Amino acid sequence: MSDISLINSAHQPGHTCLAFAKDGSRIYTGGSDSLVRIWKTNLGAEQEPDVAIEAMDGITTVAAGNNAWFSGSEDADVRQYEKDKHEVSGLVTTAIGVPIRCVAVDPKGQRITVTSDEPTVKVIDIEDTTKMFVLKGHTKAVRQATWHPSGSLLTTSGADGKIVAWDVSDSEPKNITTIEGIIPEVYDTDSADFRHDCSAVWHTSGQYFIVATRAHEIISISRTTWSKSATFSDPSCSGATTALALSHNGIYLASASTSGISIWSTQTRRLLFRYQGSVTAPVTKIAFSPTQNLLAWIDTDGVLTRWPDPIPSSSPDPVKLISVGAAVGIPKKRGTTPNLFGDDVEEKDDASKAKDLNLDEEDEYDATMGDLDDDNWILDDIGGGLQDDDGDAKWAAKEGIKEMVSVTKAQPPFQPGSTPMENKKRYLAYNMIGVIEVTDQDTHHIVNVEFHDRSARKSYHFTDHFKYELASLGERGALYACPPEASHPAHVLYKPYGTWASQSEWQYELPQGTRVIGLAAGGPPPTQSMRQKNDMDIQGNGNVVIATSDGELIFLTGGGVERHVMSLPGDFVCMCAGREWVFIVTRDGSTTMDGSQNLTGRLIKFDDFCMLQKDTVPIPKGHTLKWIGISEEGAPIIYDSSGVLNALPRFRIPFAATWTRVLNTNTLDRKEGKHESYWPVGVSGETFMCLILKGRQEHPGFPRPLIQELPLKFPFKRTDAKEGPLEEQFARETMLLDILRDGLDEDELTSTDISRRELALDKSLIQLIQFACKNDKLSRALDIAKLLHHTASFDMAIKVAGFYHLIGLQEKLEALKDDREDGPDKLEAQRERRRDRNAQFVPIPDNKRYSTFAAEPARPKPFQDFRPPPAIPRPGLERAAGASTKATGTSQITESSQFSMDDEPSFDFNAHQDIENSNYSQESSPDGKRKRFEEDSNAENDAKRRAVGDSAGDMRTAQARSNPFARKPGAVDNRNPFTKSTETNKSVHKSDSFFNKIDAAETEKPKRTTTAKGKSKDKKETGRQTTLFGLPAVPPPEKKAPGRKKKANVAEESQSQSQRGSAEPTAKPAEEKTSAESQDTDVTMLESQESQVLTELAEESQERTASPEPIDWPDSPAPVEPEESTLVEIVA
């Protein structure tokens, strides 16, 4: 911004006027001395302007067309002059003895509007001045007339206080609307007020015009509603606004008032710059040069002031038609190269810069191109060179990001989850944590922060005088950034959610002239509610990352400590922060010729500021990045304008992760026949949370729409109805498991959650093996078997193979199993790999818990406690004398081992969180409550079984919580607990017959239900489930069908016998125990036999439908045609 202005005394005091030639090379000024002076803009203050002396009376208006300029004077004549010359070329029109007030040339340069003290307005064709419309509607003199950028609309401002909009596109001009009460009524043509410029200044977008009101405000009036849409106000601007002008590209508005000359942004409607010199007399006309960074005005003293470079070079240029922020798109390129970006690139809300408008502007360019002497412009010797794709340099996007060679429009920086201002409202952030909404109140904003989980964080709102334009909602705090203004530099505000320290929020100021272009607040998710005092304070307030226009990436802690300043490797695009790193996307280099955005994603860790991942972001050519985010598991996710969601699941392995396609929204079933798009909010587990936008809508509106959940689906191509979904599910689950496994500690082998999921996966794999066997695809079966997680699952696979009489496969599977058993443990191998990795790279710390604060309560809350109540020793009710002493000591173990059978390890029925639960509960109806419960606990069983089989350590956690329903089994209940304590000891041994455990648990289940009905239902289910895998519940050898008898079982049986024998000495009263045990065994044997029969029946019925092989089973009344489908459901 230079404050050196060129001042010329041009005319005598009185009414004056001013206009730039269309090429900006001349300024025409007229005054009450009836002279028009023609100033050359390239000369300084010491110049002798040409003078046009034809007028008889004071000049009231001058206007410039493409090849001519016009003057109107108080002698009632409108004269036409040749371009840049002072020779008159003709008389255009005359008013009948009254002064001309305004001449306005339309954007195409074909017609002029002439207003005078007559109440009519004339629209005259320049070429043929006899072609003329007369517009009637005003009741007094018409002071000003302005054209809409399209040239089809005309607005006139009358002394009667009316603004009238006319449609002049046809030969029959129409009065569209009359707006009253905006501009003042001025009847005295000699008054000072009459000289004020009350014209309606159309914005180049054509969406609204700006006018100075009688209340001394500057307001914009929307074209659609013809009502006030916004106000330009600033406390430093006061007094009547005497003149207004818009910059050539519509970014800036200049206003002249008694308090001085101000330049505003039309987007933010904030005061940007002020003219430092003083204004001595009321300014009558102000104008931006159409081709230069130059502002000129003239006042009633007849003084012409030229202010070169009113816009500093750090701000967008006032001339070039570039896309600045969200307000002005570049539809210009679109006309000629529509296929390059498709429709997706230009989604600015006013792509409405209607086509005709573009043409107009281009016409202007053509006309002016030859005279450009500004270095920024290419001198174009081909007419209309800007429309050609081979323009060898082009300015695009904000802040003068220059794209050399490339014609692909570079995607501007964006904040994930924010929307542009629409109807004075916008979202600054919308993610899985909450929403930041902003309401524009003209002078200030209201920021409203709401969280999805109101129990964890407290919603708040505040009045924002800085007009924050970027925000990030992190786990531990919200971060805001405001743009620099005349009165203050850019700053960043961090508001942590916690309540521990007063004044925990802090502000971070950036140097003058620097803008914030991206923000991210990260940190570990809180372990407890933020509304309570808890351990989160010691864990800190997370981390803050700021990207600035200086190419810096600034890292701060949540407490405001500056940690690190990194150089941005390229143009910044966007970023988001996870718990221990920030994911930033930049454009290294430029976009490519063929439409690729050329974006690179990096993960940078918070603790040591080292890079964890660097990879090109997979965006198809011609598409842009729409959103980035972090999944609940911590993996970076991206969503592009082609509608594909990609994830980086193995992000913890340094520099090795790859992008996985997790969802293609174009192939969704629900999209069939509908026109809708998906606005991402987050990814949680296997669901894609998004807002569904109808039609061409680009951004969610207000009120806030509900978040929809779409399941993730790998774009697998196999269409087989049974195997396809299973394979897809397996791949998807494996991805999630990989994330979890990578996050394990150095010492951990596995976690209960992981093994539970693995078990569920093994089940679906066994199903796949079954399908493969059925269809005789043996190599496929073998492939699948290699994917099995647990050694125990191999037994199952072997049984399936045996069932189909595939002896060869069976042997191969046995070999695989032996190999798995003998070879190094898979889990340990994985742990080794993790350790190796950690030795080479600094490990990523997981969410630390501080023992002093994070002590978990010993028991969960009352209604979330799914364990049985602690056993109360009741000596009086004990069967035998020595029992009571035992019971107290081992009550936990006893409890958990109640269901054990034979040599099987114990399970308890723990109802902790379970993904599968939701699946199960969906089917249940109100009267099906009972059933759902059982299914739930059924699902839980899996986890327990696995956990118990794994290690003693896991078992402890398993026992910690158990199901209250586990207490019901009346039949087994009053057995002597002692016997079981020994069995618990045994269960630490790793049992290889893992599926027997399932059966054991399931045959056990009926005991827990009290009604006969429930029991029978249960049994049936049990039968079905076992059937699938073609094996009986617990193998009592004598009951077994000879063909299906397994060596393993027998061996196991005998082994367990010996175990029991060995365990006995450890128990105290040996006789007591054996008796109890035998009793116990009897019961379970009975149970198992019963279930065995059921199993066989169900098996048989399934066989009928499923298997082609003839196997002779006894006849049974087994029903169920849909048996097989139910089976799939249950197991899945």
Partner 1 sequence: MALPPSLRLSVTPPELELIACEQLIEIIPLVAMERTAFISGAFGPLRPPAKCKVPIWMATNLKLKKKCHIVPPDWLNVDFLQDRLTHETSQPEFSQLPFRFAEVAKVLLDVASDDFENPERLRSLLKDIQEARQAKSREGLSKIDHSELSLPNLCSMEINEIRPVFIKAMGVLSQLVREPEGRLPT
Note the residues at the interface with partner 1 (CB under 8 A): 432, 451-456, 529, 681, 684, 687, 689, 706-707, 709, 860-861, 863-866, 911-914, 917-918, 921-922, 924-927, 929, 932-933, 936, 964
Rg (CA), the chain: 40
Residue 307 phi, psi dihedral angles, 5° rounding: -115, 95
Q: Return the number of the residue (573 or 683) whose C-beta is nearest partner 1.
A: 683
Closest distance between partner 1 and the C-beta of residue 461, in Å?
A: 17
Q: Return the number of the residue (663 or 768) whose C-beta is nearest partner 1.
A: 663
Under 8 Å between Cβ of 48 and 40: no
Residue 25 exposure: Cα atoms within 13 Å on the Cβ side: 13
Closest distance between partner 1 and the C-beta of residue 671, in Å?
A: 17
Q: Return the number of the residue (337 or 708) whose C-beta is nearest partner 1.
A: 708
Closest distance between partner 1 and the C-beta of residue 708, in Å?
A: 9
Q: Return the number of the residue (450 or 464) whose C-beta is nearest partner 1.
A: 450
Closest distance between partner 1 and the C-beta of residue 152, in Å?
A: 38
Residue 208 phi, psi dihedral angles, 5° rounding: -155, 165
Under 8 Å between Cβ of 24 and 294: yes
Q: Return the number of the residue (168 or 432) whose C-beta is nearest partner 1.
A: 432
- Closest to 567 measured CA to CA, from 552, 557, 547: 552
d(CA 151, CA 878): 100
| Residues contacting 58, CB < 8 A, separation 6+ | 14, 15, 31, 32, 33, 34, 73, 74, 99
| Residues contacting 503, CB < 8 A, separation 6+ | none
Q: Return the number of the residue (96 or 706) whose C-beta is nearest partner 1.
A: 706
Q: With the C-alpha atoms ordered 318, 319, 325, 327, is the resulting torsion angle positive or negative?
A: positive
Closest distance between partner 1 and the C-beta of residue 473, in Å?
A: 13
The count of other CB atoms within 10 Å of the CB of residue 734 is 17
Q: Return the number of the residue (23 or 914) whose C-beta is nearest partner 1.
A: 914
Closest distance between partner 1 and the C-beta of residue 713, in Å?
A: 18
Residues pairing with 114 in the sheet? 103, 122
Under 8 Å between Cβ of 1095 and 1019: no
d(CA 113, CA 123): 4
Closest distance between partner 1 and the C-beta of residue 864, in Å?
A: 4
Q: Return the number of the residue (123 or 683) whose C-beta is nearest partner 1.
A: 683
Q: What is the DSSP letter of 124?
A: E
| Residues contacting 1013, CB < 8 A, separation 6+ | none
Under 8 Å between Cβ of 941 and 998: yes
Question: Strand 581-587 to strand 434-440: parallel, antiparallel, or no bridges (unpaired)?
Answer: unpaired
Which residue type sits at 1007? Answer: K
The pair of structure tokens assigned to 101 is 């007030």
Where are the alpha helices (H) located in 352-483, listed in sequence order?
Answer: 355-368
Where are the alpha helices (H) located in 104-200, listed in sequence order?
Answer: 192-195
Q: Return the number of the residue (837 or 932) whose C-beta is nearest partner 1.
A: 932
The pair of structure tokens assigned to 758 is 């693995």
Closest distance between partner 1 and the C-beta of residue 436, in Å?
A: 15
Closest distance between partner 1 and the C-beta of residue 652, in Å?
A: 24
Task: Write down the residue that tokens 């060679």 correspond to.
Answer: 405
Q: Would you give the distance in Å from CA 1054 to the centre of its chain?
A: 60
Closest distance between partner 1 and the C-beta of residue 68, in Å?
A: 58
- Residue 311, helix vs strand vs coil: coil
Could you please report the per-residue DSSP string of 505-555? -EEEEPPTT--EEEEEEE-PPPSS-TTS--THHHH-S-EEEEEETTSEEEE
The count of other CB atoms within 10 Å of the CB of residue 786 is 11
Q: Return the number of the residue (87 or 927) whose C-beta is nearest partner 1.
A: 927
| Residues contacting 987, CB < 8 A, separation 6+ | 897, 900, 904, 905, 906, 948, 955
Q: Return the number of the residue (717 or 861) whose C-beta is nearest partner 1.
A: 861
Closest distance between partner 1 and the C-beta of residue 922, in Å?
A: 6
Residue 363 burial class via C-beta count within 10 angstroms: exposed 0-12, middle 13-18, buried 19 and up: middle
Q: Return the number of the residue (493 or 681) whose C-beta is nearest partner 1.
A: 681
Q: Return the number of the residue (423 or 455) whose C-beta is nearest partner 1.
A: 455
Closest distance between partner 1 and the C-beta of residue 232, in Å?
A: 37
Closest distance between partner 1 and the C-beta of residue 860, in Å?
A: 7
Q: Return the number of the residue (222 or 864) whose C-beta is nearest partner 1.
A: 864
Closest distance between partner 1 and the C-beta of residue 449, in Å?
A: 14
Q: Return the number of the residue (780 or 930) whose C-beta is nearest partner 1.
A: 930
How distant, in Å, are the alpha carbons of 91, 107, 112, 134 from that of 127? 12, 15, 10, 17
Under 8 Å between Cβ of 791 and 820: yes
Under 8 Å between Cβ of 979 and 965: no
Closest distance between partner 1 and the C-beta of residue 127, in Å?
A: 56
Q: Return the number of the residue (453 or 776) whose C-beta is nearest partner 1.
A: 453
Closest distance between partner 1 and the C-beta of residue 711, in Å?
A: 12
The pair of structure tokens assigned to 472 is 């990030």
Under 8 Å between Cβ of 809 and 773: yes
Which residue type sits at 1019? Answer: K
Closest distance between partner 1 and the C-beta of residue 1017, in Å?
A: 16
Q: Return the number of the residue (44 or 928) whose C-beta is nearest partner 1.
A: 928
- Interior angle at CA 1003, CA 1000 and CA 1006, nearest 5: 140
